[in-house]
A and B are shown apart, each in its own frame.
Chain A
């Protein structure tokens, strides 16, 4: 079927990616864009650590520092961690359930472009008069007070990219509900698929409150409303609630997929079925559920009163239980197994003690009365970097190393991978462990500098040196990617040799239709079952037939771009006469292309049976 597999020129490749609706290519886009934003956010982190390395430093100004921390937090959470995880979900989840694509390929592309343009818009603030500077939480009184357009960039950029995330979440949910291969019952789904499912459900319910909050702030800042203007009857605590009703589930949106990735890695490299699979699923769902009941633990010092604080404190502690169930199940997956310490397994293994340290400080924070001391200090900074970096970032590095061969058809270098691990691992603990004490010794967070003579100097220096190690680790990873891509040694279907789930049953990279014939799933770890019975691949569940595929389309890009334009209009509303026309033009572009989409039928195309037969054993390039 050579027509689909021709080598293309550079321009054609770019066009291909701009118009693709293939979940595997969209995955690559997510990884690429998310990776880029990770570097940006990391660079911002490095600036933070340089500024704080010594007391009274003036590497950056006070105002710039606030912009940097705000953008660091926002970029890392919304534009780096979540999109990279979305990349894995796109790349792997449909394969794991034996689907040919996601439920809404067009919307999948739209989701990506919305995220991307939202992120670009947000980062353009650096060049257009200043970035947002009220923290990633953007508390209302400060955000309304903030001069310039920084906060406007935040509000508009996050609305656009949040819309993309919401669309992505719904897409994953429907894919999992409707498109599982024959025999793939819910309780046979790999854990990464399960965590994708629950995380997507959290997205579905957590992003609307954020959207509402952002809309209210947009109205206040750009259109003269009074939601947060106390003098006119407004109330800033509304923002705090709306933000955290979103914000707390958000951290589980980040960490659940990470748990999924580690679950796959633990069982693969222990050559053992996941211990307590059903309780793992149960714990995942329970974490998701409890995640919505605890947000006010970020507001213990707001003055909600002892009743509210006590309720939320206890509810928060409860989350430790399902998380503990997971930790012990992972440990007992390895127990009695045959554990091979590959580079992905390094990350997974180190994740356990690192994440626990963050988790238990979380439970300490949950003790409301004690949190009055911890809140808004470096103790909190230490807590969340322990869970986020030790959980999410570790999982991202692990996932990159683990699925790279499946996505790109070639293995990342293991030695370099382990070098990255050691540099990053050491740097990570060095940076963040000491921060617990900084917080307890009285150092608030979000301070652009500190005075000497308060006992903070040495600890901050240590912390900054740790960041240097982390940077080195990331640089080694980049080298690894380049070296690997240049060498480009092709690998087979199951390069780790221990693959258990369906994605390892098809070529690396998979053909663009994924499964020639949908596989018949006979149990948990479908591919492993077949392997253990001595079979080479999956038993097909259907005869070879025509495959229906969606058409590529440029419209997702255009729809997202329209909102990008409109956002500039909203930003300058009331300041320039061209603002309103620009809003109108942007919205016209968006709604116009939506209209085109709905009026022009798009039935996709079919790959014919004959072509598929030609294709046998050739390993098509996607």
Chain B
């Protein structure tokens, strides 16, 4: 079976993301990559926890002075919902419904963009309060951890858009279905990381 062969609803396989060798490799490879990413983020979390509230002078804001529930809650809802919408997209992909898949991915991207927006807003606020990347070890660790995650979201956004634009005209086939699938894995992973960020950085930060 050729990867680019035009398929119909009937001939569409149950697991398009794994139905050619290339696809299977991509699928496995990406999962392994996520295993590595887990260690990467763990290292950043570890660093953050070791440097939390380590500031040179006591006038600088600490975690409990900075973080606020509402904003974090909004950001969390945005990202969690985008996880669900990308699940919908994959659901439609499996049903060989290209249009709906694109729609859901579109929504996913929008939610992702909104999340990034809220993060930028948040960061500018902190900078005004004197919590900067260069002002303390706490600042460096915070922006690096949360920023790494934000960078992942931004990259995911680009990725999503590229995929959508590139494949807008040609519909689903066994060549691009795995790509969409892998992207959705990535997006969920970002969400997983965020769950820990809001728990460990924000919520725990507010607890003290």
| Chain A positions near chain B (C-beta within 8 angstroms) | 103-104, 166, 170-171, 173-175, 177-179, 204-205, 207-209, 211-213, 215-216, 219-220, 223-227, 229, 231-235, 238, 242, 245, 595, 598-599, 601, 603
Contacts and interface: CB of A to CB of B under 8 A. Distances in A.
B197 to A, nearest CB: 16
B36 A231 contact: no
B29, B44, B162: most-surrounded residue (chain A CB, <10 A): B29
B51 A233 contact: yes
A219 B137 contact: no
A232 B141 CA distance: 12
Interface stretch (B20-28, B66-74, B123-131): B20-28
B140 interface: yes
Interface in B5-60: 21, 24-25, 28-29, 32-33, 35-37, 39-40, 43-44, 47, 50-51, 54-56
A235 B55 CA distance: 11
Interface string B73-88: 0000000000000000
Contact of B134 (A212, A215, A226, A245): A226
B65 interface: no
Contact of B36 (A104, A208, A242): A208
A225 B140 contact: yes
A215 B25 CA distance: 29
Contact of A235 (B24, B37, B44, B54): B54
Interface in B160-208: 162-163, 166, 175
B36 A166 contact: yes
A207 B33 CA distance: 12
A601 B175 CA distance: 9
A232 B136 CA distance: 5
B137 A233 contact: yes
Nearest to B52: A233
Interface string B139-165: 111001000000000000000001100
A204 B35 contact: yes
A223 B133 CA distance: 9
Contacts of B55: 232-233
Contacts of A232: 55-56, 135-137
Contacts of B166: 598-599
B56 A174 contact: no
A226 B136 contact: yes
Interface of B: 3-4, 21, 24-25, 28-29, 32-33, 35-37, 39-40, 43-44, 47, 50-51, 54-56, 133-141, 144, 162-163, 166, 175
A166, A170, A205, A232: most-surrounded residue (chain B CB, <10 A): A232
B43 A209 contact: yes
A219 B140 contact: yes
Contact of A216 (B4, B21, B24, B144): B144
Given A171-B29, A216-B47, A224-B133, 14 more contacts: A170-B29, A174-B28, A177-B28, A179-B21, A179-B25, A215-B144, A226-B135, A229-B137, A232-B135, A233-B51, A235-B137, A242-B47, A598-B166, A599-B166
B162 A174 contact: no
A114 to B, nearest CB: 15
Contacts of B137: 225-227, 229, 232-235
A220 B47 CA distance: 14
Contacts of A208: 36-37, 39-40, 43
Contact of B162 (A224, A238, A598): A598
Contact of A204 (B32, B51, B135, B141): B32
Nearest to B133: A225
B25, B50, B138: most-surrounded residue (chain A CB, <10 A): B25
A232 B29 CA distance: 41
A173 B144 CA distance: 30
A167 B24 CA distance: 17
A224 B134 contact: yes
A296 to B, nearest CB: 14
A233 B54 contact: yes
A104 B178 CA distance: 15
A229 B135 CA distance: 11
B29 A212 contact: no
Contacts of B39: 204-205, 208-209
B50 A235 contact: yes
Contacts of A601: 4, 175
The 6 closest A-B pairs by CB, nearest first: A233-B54, A233-B137, A225-B140, A208-B40, A103-B25, A212-B43
A434 B11 CA distance: 71
Given A216-B144, A227-B140, A211 B40 contact: yes
29 contacts: A103-B25, A103-B28, A104-B25, A170-B33, A170-B36, A173-B32, A174-B25, A174-B29, A178-B21, A179-B25, A204-B36, A212-B47, A216-B140, A216-B144, A224-B134, A225-B144, A226-B134, A227-B140, A229-B137, A231-B56, A233-B51, A233-B55, A233-B56, A235-B50, A235-B51, A238-B50, A595-B162, A598-B166, A601-B175
Nearest to A220: B140
A146 B174 CA distance: 53
A212 B43 CA distance: 7
B54 A170 contact: no
B148 to A, nearest CB: 9
A98 B40 CA distance: 33
Contacts of A245: 43
Contacts of A104: 25, 29
A545 to B, nearest CB: 13
B136 A174 contact: no
